[in-house]
Amino acid sequence: MIQLSVNGTQHQLDVPDDMPLLWVVRDVLGLTGTKFGCGIAQCGACTVHLDGEAVRSCVLPVSAAAGRAVTTIEAVGQSALGAQVQQAWLDHEVVQCGYCQSGQIMSATALLQRQPAPSDAEIDAGMAGNLCRCATYTRIRAAIRDVDAGGAA
């Protein structure tokens, strides 16, 4: 049994140690906001927070998350910063098809937590592992800058 904290709720899970966290989140806990993209940590669609850091859940064995706080897109809006990132996403109408966007929002929130006022170059570097095939990158950048302008962090 694995003791896992997801979005503030404790779960006792009977899953193999090496099951990727993404499978646990989506298939066992039914939290399907986090997406499967590439399965090899190359696209960022599966990004969640582990103790506030952005991690790729498709290559994170669930055992490595035990005893730490997992936050998914379903709960990121519960923090003031996360809520402001989501609002900025709405204000800028960032989303096109939307598939990568939960990963984008998770990475953006972790970036802003670390670097409250990132430059464009820092945004590019910090968000670089999150691909968007609709190429919403310029709107993502604008939304992140907007959160900074709002003085959230």
Around Cβ 40, how many Cβ atoms within 10 Å? 9
Cβ 19 to other proteins, closest distance in Å? 9
What does the block give as tokens for 44? 């960022």
Please choose, out of 77-85, 93-101, 114-122, 143-151, the segment that lies near other proteins by the rule CB under 8 A: 114-122
Please choose, out of 5-13, 71-79, 92-100, 119-127, the segment that lies near other proteins by the rule CB under 8 A: 119-127
Distance in angstroms (rounded) separating the CA atoms of residues 122 and 96: 23
- Letters for 12-51 (x = contact with other proteins by CB under 8 A, - = none) are ------x-x-------------------xxx-x-------
Is residue 3 helix, strand or coil?
strand
Q: In angstroms, how far is CA 138 from the centroid of its own chain?
A: 19
Is residue 153 helix, strand or coil?
coil
Question: Which stretches of 9-152 are assigned E, i.e. beta strand?
Answer: 9-13, 47-50, 53-56, 69-71
**115 binds other proteins per the rule CB under 8 A:** yes
**117 binds other proteins per the rule CB under 8 A:** no
As beta bridge partners, residue 49 has 54, 71
Task: Identify the helix (H) or strand (E) that includes residue 57.
Answer: none
Cβ-contact 76, 106 below 8 angstroms: yes
- Letters for 49-78 (x = contact with other proteins by CB under 8 A, - = none) are ----x-xx-xxxx--x--------------
Among 28, 33, 129, 145, binds other proteins (CB under 8 A): 129
In the region spanning residues 78 to 97, those forming contacts with other proteins, defined by CB under 8 A, are none
Where along the sequence are the contacts to other proteins (CB under 8 A)? 18, 20, 40-42, 44, 53, 55-56, 58-61, 64, 114-115, 119, 121-122, 124-126, 128-129
